[in-house]
């Protein structure tokens, strides 16, 4: 007997889900080039510079019309002595083997003539807001994925279905370029997972369209690592089982994946390998935690550097408190993070009965956390975190909480 099912009536053409992933091309470097066009084509490194390199730049930022600074006046990595890492490197710098997440000291060895710029988040945020505003003017359903990436739901946007989304992607690219001078790459696919992979296909300033039928020829040959969510650890484990490509992953049985990687991860891996992902594009999200952390210029000892450490600790608490207050949140889980000289980290946290955004209270609880952490090794990093956030005006006071609590829970 045929099983009745509810397919949409033929006269209604339900639009095909079209999700775009838009990725700004070399965002930080491109923004810096807007300000320093004379750096075009040169090896430039942007990173957490400190000490003399920053001092030199500070003068330039404040006193001189920036575009008039001769290239020779930019600080070079040569002789760099700080602890920062590279956030972005231009293509010219990458040719020397320099890349993001690399320590600046190492980069200075590889390419001492590279120009060092400090990260300027205020500037990146400004351009970030600008390109996102341009997108939402055209396609309102947009999800933030950090400063330089977004997902956009094309499905119900007028023209969003044309050429699989290419027409709209082009329109958005042009609008962003006309306004900011920045380029981006876009992937359009039936879901976020595939769109994210597609946006990498034709970088920079490219567009890639992926349809369901493209899974086998376009996605399966890719390395598993290209799946957003498979990092170095998972990749290593997959390789251990001889799985290098997404196609090889797709050839595995669901049950085997669940037995090998756990039920949740296994099921997710299976779906991902088959190009399946039904996560919606989320336009709103509430923060879960806010934190501040700092790596010291030299490792500090809990006893010998007590005063310095104490002052830093208080400052971090004040910064987190200020962040919370500025954004209108309160939290009730206060935590600390320590990183030792051997790079091992520990965390400690305490949940308090009432939400807070008060620096003194955060400092008091964080101090209790610190007492529970091992302090015999030297420290390289200290962090303070406030989690279990609630909007300031919705936070339960202790009294409201009692009132809302059911008097008895009669389950039997």
Supply the residues annotated as catalytic.
Answer: 149
Considering only residues 94, 106, 166, 315, which one is a binding residue for DNA as defined by CB under 7 A? 106
Taking the complex as a whole, the smallest distance from the CB of residue 346 to DNA amounts, in Å, to 4
Say how far residue 280 (Cα) sits from the centre of its chain: 18
Q: Please say which residue, 5 or 326, places its beta carbon nearer to DNA.
A: 326
Query: Is 122 a binder of DNA (CB under 7 A)?
Result: no
Q: Please say which residue, 132 or 348, places its beta carbon nearer to DNA.
A: 348
From 89-97, 132-140, 143-151, 170-178, give the range in contact with DNA by CB under 7 A. Answer: 143-151
Query: Is 335 a binder of DNA (CB under 7 A)?
Result: yes
Q: Hey, what are 55's tokens?
A: 């001092």
Closest CA to 153 of 164, 163, 143, 141: 141
Considering only residues 343, 371, 403, 404, which one is a binding residue for DNA as defined by CB under 7 A? 343
Binding mask 257-296 toward DNA (x if CB under 7 A, else -) reads -----x-xx---------------------xxxxxxxxx-
Considering only residues 17, 130, 132, 145, which one is a binding residue for DNA as defined by CB under 7 A? 145
Burial (CB count within 10 angstroms: exposed 0-12, middle 13-18, buried 19+), residue 2: exposed
Query: Is 326 a binder of DNA (CB under 7 A)?
Result: no
Q: Please say which residue, 5 or 409, places its beta carbon nearer to DNA.
A: 409
C-alpha distances (whole Å) from 49 to each of 76, 209, 297, 319 are: 11, 39, 11, 21
Q: Please say which residue, 71 or 398, places its beta carbon nearer to DNA.
A: 398
Taking the complex as a whole, the smallest distance from the CB of residue 181 to DNA amounts, in Å, to 20
Residues 177-196 that bind DNA (CB under 7 A): 196
Angle 121-138/27-35 helices, nearest 10 degrees? 110
Taking the complex as a whole, the smallest distance from the CB of residue 345 to DNA amounts, in Å, to 6
Query: Is 149 a binder of DNA (CB under 7 A)?
Result: yes
Query: Is 407 a binder of DNA (CB under 7 A)?
Result: no
Taking the complex as a whole, the smallest distance from the CB of residue 306 to DNA amounts, in Å, to 20
Taking the complex as a whole, the smallest distance from the CB of residue 336 to DNA amounts, in Å, to 9
Q: Please say which residue, 64 or 95, places its beta carbon nearer to DNA.
A: 95
Query: Is 351 a binder of DNA (CB under 7 A)?
Result: yes
Query: Is 368 a binder of DNA (CB under 7 A)?
Result: no
Query: Is 79 a binder of DNA (CB under 7 A)?
Result: no
Residues 13-52 that bind DNA (CB under 7 A): 48
Sheet holding 207-209, edge to edge: 142-144, 149-153, 19-24, 184-189, 207-209
Q: Which residues bind DNA (CB under 7 A)?
A: 48, 83-85, 87, 100-101, 103, 105-106, 109, 145-149, 196, 227-235, 262, 264-265, 287-295, 323, 332-333, 335, 342-343, 345-351, 369, 372, 380-381, 383, 387-388, 409-412
């Amino acid at each position: 007997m045929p099983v009745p099912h509810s397919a949409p009536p033929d006269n209604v053409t339900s639009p095909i889900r079209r999700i775009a992933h838009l990725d700004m091309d070399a965002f930080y470097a491109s923004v810096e080039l807007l300000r320093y066009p004379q750096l075009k084509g040169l090896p430039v490194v942007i990173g957490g510079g400190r000490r003399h390199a920053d001092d030199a730049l500070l003068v330039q930022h404040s006193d001189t019309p920036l575009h008039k600074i001769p290239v020779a006046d930019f600080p070079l990595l040569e002789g760099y002595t700080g602890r920062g890492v590279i956030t972005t490197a231009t293509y010219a710098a990458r040719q020397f083997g320099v890349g993001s997440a690399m320590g600046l000291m190492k980069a200075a060895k590889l390419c001492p003539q590279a120009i060092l710029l400090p990260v300027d988040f205020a500037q990146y945020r400004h351009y970030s807001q600008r390109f996102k505003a341009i997108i939402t003017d055209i396609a309102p359903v947009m999800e933030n994925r950090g400063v330089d990436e977004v997902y956009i739901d094309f499905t119900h946007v007028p023209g969003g279905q044309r050429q699989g989304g290419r027409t709209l992607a082009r329109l958005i690219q042009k609008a962003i370029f006309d306004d900011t001078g920045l380029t981006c790459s876009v992937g359009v696919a039936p879901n976020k997972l595939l769109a994210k992979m597609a946006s990498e296909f034709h970088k920079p300033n490219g567009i890639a369209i992926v349809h369901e039928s493209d899974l086998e020829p376009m996605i399966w040959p890719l390395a598993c690592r290209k799946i957003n969510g498979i990092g170095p650890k998972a990749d290593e484990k997959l390789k251990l089982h001889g799985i290098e490509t997404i196609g090889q992953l797709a050839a595995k049985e669901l049950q085997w994946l669940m037995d090998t990687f756990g039920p949740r991860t296994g099921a997710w891996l299976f779906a991902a390998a088959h190009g399946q992902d039904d996560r919606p594009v989320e336009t709103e999200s509430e923060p879960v935690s806010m934190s501040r952390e700092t790596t010291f210029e030299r490792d500090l000892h809990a006893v010998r550097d007590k005063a310095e450490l104490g002052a830093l600790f208080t400052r971090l608490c004040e910064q987190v408190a200020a962040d919370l207050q500025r954004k209108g949140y309160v939290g009730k889980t206060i935590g600390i993070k320590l990183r030792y000289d051997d790079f091992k980290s520990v965390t400690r946290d305490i949940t308090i009965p009432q939400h807070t955004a008060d620096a003194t209270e955060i400092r008091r609880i964080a101090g209790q956390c610190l007492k529970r952490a091992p302090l015999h090794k030297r420290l390289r990093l200290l962090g303070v975190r406030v989690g279990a956030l609630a909007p300031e005006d919705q936070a339960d006071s202790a009294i409201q909480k009692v009132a809302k609590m059911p008097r008895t829970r009669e389950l039997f």
